[in-house]
Amino acid sequence: MGPSARERRQERRLRRDPTERRIRVFEQRYGRMATNLAAHAAFPLTLTTDVIYCLRESFLPDCPWYAAADVLLSGLCTPVGYDLYEMEAATRRYLLRYLRDQFGDGQVEAVADFMAAYLRHRVLGLKDNRALMLGEKPQWTALACLQPGKARDEIYQALQHLARQQTLDQQDRFRLASLVESYGDFLADQGYQHFMVEWADKFAEEEPIDAQAEMVEQLQNAGFSVRWVEFEVATVAFGVEQAPMEESELYTVNIETVTVNEQGEEIAREPHTVSYFEELLGDPITPLRLVAIPSGEFMMGSGEEDSDKYGDETPQHLVKVKPFFISQYPVTQAQWKAVAAMPTPTEDLEEDLKPEPSRFSGDERPVEQVSWHEAVEFCARLSKHTGRIYRLPTEAEWEYACRADTTTPYYFGPKITEAWVNYNVGETTSVGKFPPNAFGLYDMHGNVCEWCADHWHGNYEEDGGPPTDGSAWLTEDSDARRVNRGGSWYPYPRLCRSACRDDDLPGDHYDDIGFRVVCEARGL
């Protein structure tokens, strides 16, 4: 029996990220407990047997003792001396993200505090020089994982402080400069690597360090034009008189958005007013509600500051989007069943729409196990029934609608938990269970992935780059893979980010893919 559809999708994701593939193979071979231990051991720059056993005893006492050997002798680590092992920077970054996602930011900070205490004990208590090779500043690693900008600032301040010390000889300077370079490599994904290395070199040579001036000079030498400006951000309201229906058909509703901090804890709530209209699909089916999305522009994709990004989310680029309407929730199973019963305008349809295709049954749950072709057929039937133009959202429209004028990885903020998004629970939930974004859209993160109109491209540079007007990015191959967005109930918050992308064949059916629809605002 061949691999399941879910396994094939996982394999495609792993091929895009060799580090993730390496760690996934490790977990399959040694188990989740060993992976958890490896994540805790990702802090030291260099590992010893003593360190990993202490980490196990302090944080994972139920983990079998032999997992320590599994971590050190596996492909995750490289021997660099007698009882000394190192992880490459990409592996450390991935495992620290895993540690944060699985155990929370509090555990990351607890491990950092433990390592600082361990080093004080080893250096001050036993005078064992091997402990120095573990890195004198494990808290920098914690900051690099949680707040890379703060890590950069703290390293810079430390160098400034040490540069004023008259007692450091040249050997000490080179040793500390080498340590900083290691953290510069760790911060490479945030774009700080070159700055870290140059600051370290200047420190080793006793030269003064001016962070802001040097950053401007670096950018100018790279061909950027740098100037300081003050600006205001404006939100453009959607003109209801431009909608494809009479103004009397539009309604408003008050919603409340949630903002969270870097621990995923609620820190603010804010009221918003949303305009919408409804398509009636017959009693007792919940009407299909379409929310007005204003025109505007945004930076599509992930920037250097997003440590969780995949390569296919870059480079960031400016996109201007026209106003449109999009369904407030993913299409539900009751709505799907109603439209599936409508007559088809597609003469060459190979097979009719199944009225109940979903694995997780429930009228108000999102429909899933529908292919891209079937989602397009749903739009065609709805268009014929209503006289309006319905279609799948373009990838740019989807991300613009998801972000709702935010720039953080999630529209809630920098982190999500299971309190705000349906992921890591093993099945779908009814739509609208979790708080919306500022445009009034629900379930844009998690629950089900959502089909988009676009063909798949491996990044935003292929084939001359995507359109900048929000239209679909298509190729001549009608059977090419199609984009889906939003993440799902799978246990991977990283896949739920606003910028995260995935792809599948247009004929594929999966229990974590659904869709929502767009109604065009004509005459604009």
Instruction: Calculate mean pLDDT across residues 59-68.
Output: 89
| Comparison of pLDDT for 188 and 465, the residue scoring more | 465
Q: How confident is the model at residue 523 (pLDDT cuts 50, 70, 90)?
A: very low
**Which pLDDT belongs to residue 176?**
62
**Which pLDDT belongs to residue 226?**
45
Q: How confident is the model at residue 127 (pLDDT cuts 50, 70, 90)?
A: very low
Bond prior to 284 in cis (omega within 30° of 0): yes
Q: Give the global pTM.
A: 0.63
What sign has the CA pseudo-torsion 181, 183, 184, 189?
A: positive
177 vs 2, 139, 183, 382, CA distance in Å? 52, 17, 10, 64
pLDDT of residue 241 exceeding 50, the answer is no
- Distance CA(271)–CA(256), nearest Å, equals 4
Query: Per mean pLDDT, which of 149-158, 206-215, 511-520 is the most reliable?
Result: 511-520
Q: How confident is the model at residue 230 (pLDDT cuts 50, 70, 90)?
A: very low
Residue percentage of the chain with pLDDT more than 70: 71
Question: Looking at this protein, which amino acid is placed at residue 440?
Answer: G
Question: Looking at this protein, which amino acid is placed at residue 417?
Answer: T
Give the residue from 342, 362, 361 showing the smallest Cα distance to 352: 342
Q: DSSP E strands: which ranges in 322-461?
A: 324-327, 390-391, 449-455
pLDDT of residue 152 exceeding 80, the answer is no
Among the residue ranges 61-65, 237-241, 416-420, the one predicted with the least confidence is 237-241
pLDDT of residue 333 exceeding 60, the answer is yes
C-alpha dihedral, 178 to 183 to 188 to 191, nearest 10°: -100
**Which pLDDT belongs to residue 29?**
85
Q: How confident is the model at residue 240 (pLDDT cuts 50, 70, 90)?
A: very low
**Which pLDDT belongs to residue 168?**
60
| Comparison of pLDDT for 65 and 454, the residue scoring more | 454
Among the residue ranges 118-122, 131-135, 401-405, 511-515, the one predicted with the least confidence is 131-135
**Which pLDDT belongs to residue 209?**
55
**Which pLDDT belongs to residue 118?**
75
Q: How confident is the model at residue 247 (pLDDT cuts 50, 70, 90)?
A: very low
Query: Per mean pLDDT, which of 42-46, 131-135, 241-245, 463-467 is the most reliable?
Result: 463-467
Query: Per mean pLDDT, which of 149-153, 207-211, 406-410, 517-521 is the most reliable?
Result: 406-410
Q: How confident is the model at residue 88 (pLDDT cuts 50, 70, 90)?
A: confident
**Which pLDDT belongs to residue 258?**
96
pLDDT of residue 103 exceeding 80, the answer is yes
**Which pLDDT belongs to residue 367?**
98
- Distance CA(219)–CA(430), nearest Å, equals 48
Query: Per mean pLDDT, which of 293-307, 345-359, 364-378, 476-490 is the most reliable?
Result: 364-378
Q: How confident is the model at residue 395 (pLDDT cuts 50, 70, 90)?
A: very high
Instruction: Calculate mean pLDDT across residues 187-215.
Output: 57
pLDDT of residue 287 exceeding 90, the answer is yes
Q: How confident is the model at residue 133 (pLDDT cuts 50, 70, 90)?
A: very low
- Distance CA(406)–CA(393), nearest Å, equals 19
**Which pLDDT belongs to residue 239?**
35
Among the residue ranges 114-123, 194-203, 415-424, the one predicted with the least confidence is 194-203
CB of 279 closer than 8 Å to CB of 290? yes
**In Å, how far from its chain's centre is CA 320?**
22
Phi-psi region of 127 (alpha: psi -120 to 50; beta: other; left: phi over 0): left
CB of 499 closer than 8 Å to CB of 305? no
Among the residue ranges 11-20, 223-232, 414-423, the one predicted with the least confidence is 223-232
**Which pLDDT belongs to residue 272?**
92
- Distance CA(211)–CA(161), nearest Å, equals 14
**Which pLDDT belongs to residue 162?**
64
Q: How confident is the model at residue 159 (pLDDT cuts 50, 70, 90)?
A: low
DSSP per-residue codes, 498-514: TT-EEEE-TT---TTEE
**Which pLDDT belongs to residue 371?**
96
Q: How confident is the model at residue 169 (pLDDT cuts 50, 70, 90)?
A: low
What are the residues whose beta carbons fall under 8 Å from the beta carbon of 508, sequence distance 6 or more?
5, 371, 372
**Which pLDDT belongs to residue 346?**
75
Instruction: Calculate mean pLDDT across residues 120-148.
Output: 56
pLDDT of residue 132 exceeding 70, the answer is no
- Say how many C-beta atoms besides its own lie within 10 A of residue 88's C-beta: 14
pLDDT of residue 161 exceeding 60, the answer is yes
Instruction: Calculate mean pLDDT across residues 86-114.
Output: 85
**pLDDT averaged over every residue in the chain:** 81
Q: How confident is the model at residue 466 (pLDDT cuts 50, 70, 90)?
A: very high
